[in-house]
Amino acid sequence: THYVEIGKGENVDPHATGTIVRIEPVSVGIREADRIVAAIAAANEGRYDVDAHLRHDPSATEAFAETHVRRLEAMRRLTGGVTLE
């Protein structure tokens, strides 16, 4: 038996007493979005932005490129390894 703190339950559905649950670590690693950002940044002197993405991949939508900006922002918050201008 193990104890895992899950907070006050606001992030999970209610479970009956005695329910067996499986706890798995969050998968970390390089995502496809990371590969896309790296490719576009490599083609733009190490910089990624929505306009560079749209120039690099004319079939991409602005909304799709903005998801990559949000990924970079999350990485910045977690690691500090990304600089946003």
Does a structural domain hold residue 69? yes
Q: What is the pLDDT of residue 1?
A: 67
Please tell me whether the overall predicted TM-score, pTM, comes out greater than 0.85 for this model: no
Residue with tokens 């995502």: 31
Does a structural domain hold residue 12? no
Does a structural domain hold residue 9? no
Between 25 and 34, the higher pLDDT residue: 34
Handedness of CA 58, 63, 64, 69 (dihedral sign): positive
Q: What is the pLDDT of residue 12?
A: 72
| pLDDT band of 85, cuts 50, 70, 90 | low
Does a structural domain hold residue 55? yes
Query: Nearest to residue 67, comparing CAs of 39, 45, 34, 40?
Result: 34
pLDDT per position as a tens digit, 37-67: 999 999 999 999 999 999 999 999 999 999 9
Domain count, the chain: 1
> Could you tell me which residues come within 8 angstroms of residue 64 by beta carbon, excluding any fewer than 6 positions away?
53
Per the structure, the complete domain to which residue 39 belongs is given by 32-79
Handedness of CA 58, 63, 66, 67 (dihedral sign): negative
> Could you tell me which residues come within 8 angstroms of residue 43 by beta carbon, excluding any fewer than 6 positions away?
52, 56
- Say what percent of the chain tops pLDDT 90: 42
CA–CA separation, 58 and 10 (whole Å)? 41
